[in-house]
Amino acid sequence: MSELANRSTPELSELRQQALRDFAAFRARQLKLDMTRGKPSPEQLDLSTAMLSLPGNRDTLTEQGEDARNYGGGSQGLPEARALLADALGAPIDQILVGNNSSLALMHDCIVFALLKGVPGGRGPWSEEKPISFLCPVPGYDRHFAICEEYDIRMIPVPLTGEGPDMDRVESCIADPSVKGMWCVPQYSNPTGETYSNETVMRLGAMRAAAPDFRLFWDNAYAVHHLTENRHKVASILDACAAGGHADRPFVFASTSKITFGGAGLGFFASSPANMRWLVARMSRRTIGPDKLNQLRHVRFLRDGEGVRKLMDQHRALLAPKFDAVAGALAERLDGTGAARWTRPDGGYFITLDMSVGSASRVVELAKEIGLALTPAGATHPLGRDPNDRTLRIAPTNPPLAEVRLAAQGIALCVLLAATEALLAKREGDATSHTPELANRRTKATAKAS
């Protein structure tokens, strides 16, 4: 099939009419499908159901012999819990902290503590140096952007290249001392699915920032979330920064939210000894300690890093067919049309769909008409504003496979409709602008409508 732009106007019109008939049939089914957020499915949650009976009534002692039901145990969490993701985090356990269920909460707290107290190596609280800025690789994670928006942190978009952020652009931006940080999802990025190359990681670790307290917010949320046998592993940012002379630069985050239970997982933070002392001191004012029983529950269930890998293989068996279904449905209707391109990630939770400039909002509108909820256009960019209005994040993890397949067919149909609509409108506009009679007719019609 040739690209849509190369088709004659009659061919394009015929294709659109067929798509409209398919659209009407879709709408008549009165579906209610949701592809908005990357949540684990009920079947994935069931993989960890055995945790609900752990650690057991008489099994509350930690490896240090402390009673997990009581106060104490240290602000960094249980050493045995820290060990669960030590390999994925690329850090020794004494440089890891385990919090409660949300790594996003740890990211939020680090931002707030930096604003109020500053960070090691800095001149004082970030709030006293406003304006401050963060670099935001795009397409990116809307909840990262929301934290910046909440605290009036200026966001500077940086394009992703397929191997991480455009490093020439990053290195240019950090010459500005107001740039205090950068968001990174280094492995199976949300939503592009790319993994930062070794070269990118080394440049991030070695680059010279004008702000002495510049921080990388390294959200390694998908460190063990593989979809194929090709198990990517991003290079250690802690090692790269230490080698580059910036050991305090990285704040590394991860969680078990998409490993065990989204609502009752463990959040992890890893960093340099100086940063760890800084965060523990701040956290000690906020809490006596995290939920040690939940940490013990995870240790009993997962046991070690090998236990984590085995569980993630079970997740992959559930998720890979859903990603394949989306790719298959998009290819069936859109291959060769030039209307869109999409990612085939080796891991993570999302598929990125790129369309013609100005199409994403229209696709979301059309999808809503057929009972399909998509993440809003623009969510992949700071302030919800995609300057090209072309990128959508597809989240196929939560619905059943049959619904994912149906939703993907609906998305492909909406993309095709939006593309043919735009092309035909452009041709009509071009014809109008070059034909006086048509131009006069359009002017009269516009005047009548107003």
Per residue in 203-250, pLDDT (tens digit) is: 999 999 999 999 999 999 999 999 999 999 999 999 999 999 999 999
Short-list 112, 116, 133, 163, CA closest to 382: 133
Least confident piece of the model among 187-196, 209-218, 287-296: 287-296
Specify whether 110 is located in the same domain as 231.
Answer: yes
Specify whether 340 is located in the same domain as 392.
Answer: yes
In a domain, 60, yes or no: no
Query: How much is the average pLDDT of 395-411?
Result: 97
Specify whether 146 is located in the same domain as 239.
Answer: yes
HSE-CB of 195 using CA atoms within 13 angstroms: 22
Q: Count up the domains in the chain and report the number.
A: 2
In a domain, 333, yes or no: yes
Specify whether 330 is located in the same domain as 403.
Answer: yes
pTM of the predicted model over 0.85 = yes
H-only helix segments in 153-228: 167-173, 198-206
In a domain, 182, yes or no: yes
pLDDT per residue over 146-162, tens digit each? 999 999 999 999 999 99
In a domain, 264, yes or no: yes
What are the strands, taking DSSP E only, across 292-410?
Answer: 340-342, 351-355, 372-374, 391-394
C-alpha 335/C-alpha 2 separation (Å) is 9
Specify whether 117 is located in the same domain as 12.
Answer: no
What does the buried/exposed string (b/e) look like for 365-404 if buried means 16 or more CB atoms within 10 Å of the residue's CB? ebbeebbbebbbbbbbbbeeebeebbbbbbbbbbbebebb
Least confident piece of the model among 17-31, 64-78, 198-212: 64-78
Cis-peptide into 191, omega within 30 deg: yes
In a domain, 58, yes or no: no
In a domain, 55, yes or no: no
Is pLDDT at 191 greater than 80 in this prediction?
yes
State the helix-helix crossing angle for 103-117 and 142-150, rounded to 10 degrees: 30
The 10 Å Cβ neighbour count of residue 24 is 11
Specify whether 202 is located in the same domain as 251.
Answer: yes
Tell me the pLDDT band of 2, cut-offs 50, 70 and 90: low
- Last residue of one domain, picked from the residues 261, 286, 302: 302
pLDDT per residue over 90-119, tens digit each? 999 999 999 999 999 999 999 999 999 999
- Last residue of one domain, picked from the residues 302, 330, 361: 302
CATH of the domain at 30: 3.90.1150.10
Look over the chain and give the mean of its residue pLDDT values, rounded to a whole number: 93
Short-list 256, 309, 250, CA closest to 274: 250
pLDDT per residue over 321-344, tens digit each? 999 999 999 999 999 999 999 999
Tokens of 89: 């985090």
In a domain, 437, yes or no: no
pLDDT of residue 431: 64
CATH of the domain at 96: 3.40.640.10
Specify whether 350 is located in the same domain as 278.
Answer: no
Tell me the pLDDT band of 74, cut-offs 50, 70 and 90: confident
Contacts of 213 (CB under 8 A, 6+ apart): 114, 118, 119, 120, 121, 122, 123, 126, 180
Residue 368 sits in which domain range? 4-44+310-429
Is pLDDT at 181 greater than 90 in this prediction?
yes
Give, as one character, the DSSP assignment of residue 234.
P
| Helix (H) / strand (E) containing 153 | none
pLDDT of residue 433: 52
Specify whether 116 is located in the same domain as 189.
Answer: yes
In a domain, 442, yes or no: no
Specify whether 24 is located in the same domain as 115.
Answer: no
C-alpha 91/C-alpha 252 separation (Å) is 9
Specify whether 152 is located in the same domain as 269.
Answer: yes
What does the buried/exposed string (b/e) look like for 28-64 if buried means 16 or more CB atoms within 10 Å of the residue's CB? eeeeebebbebbbbeebeebbeebeebbeeeeeebee
- Last residue of one domain, picked from the residues 283, 302, 321: 302
Specify whether 39 is located in the same domain as 111.
Answer: no
Specify whether 188 is located in the same domain as 39.
Answer: no
* Polymer length of the chain: 450
Query: How much is the average pLDDT of 48-57?
Result: 94
